[in-house]
Amino acid sequence: MNFLSRIPFWAWYLFSVIFCYWIWNPYFSLWQVMSMDLDASFKTLAIIVSLIVASLYIVEGHRTLNVFGVILFVALFGCIFWMAAKFGIHGGGLVQWWGQWIIGLLLTIALQGGRIYRSLTGRVPVGTTIDTDTDHHHS
């Protein structure tokens, strides 16, 4: 799965935002799909794929950020929303439309935490190996 490490941060971010909008937005989301008159197999597939993606985010997010990191992230963006309200930018639209972008950033940081850590510090966490063999010679 070396190709996954070549995907740029912005592409992961875009995928995360699309996933957030898929789960919930005012016009079309997973919850509206469930209320449509569709085949049960399609609804089941949509739920299972959504749960798989969400579980990957949750497991990797917990591993990368821990509870303390998530609390700090929520506090940071809570302050940003608070400042936006002070400048007159508030209402349901702010949370409905911008919330997914912010949550998408949290999810992307959670998925890319190891890459971000290595980029900032130049160190590799203990217990992690990086394949430096670019020729991939196997005996």
Q: How far apart are CA 96 and CA 85, in angstroms?
A: 14
pLDDT 10s digit of each residue in the chain, 139 long?
Answer: 577 778 888 999 999 999 988 888 777 778 777 788 888 888 888 889 999 999 988 888 888 888 888 888 889 888 887 887 787 776 666 666 777 888 898 889 888 887 877 788 877 666 655 555 555 555 4
Whole-model pTM above 0.75? no
- Map residue 37 onto helix, strand or coil: coil
Q: How many domains does the chain have?
A: 1
| CA 16 vs CA 10, 23, 120, 124, 129: distances in Å | 10, 11, 22, 25, 26
Is the residue at 34 inside a domain? yes
Is the residue at 99 inside a domain? yes
Burial (CB count within 10 angstroms: exposed 0-12, middle 13-18, buried 19+), residue 104: buried
Residue 55 lies in domain: 8-120
Is the residue at 134 inside a domain? no
Which residues touch 40 (CB under 8 Å, ≥6 apart)?
none
Is the residue at 109 inside a domain? yes
Is the residue at 1 inside a domain? no
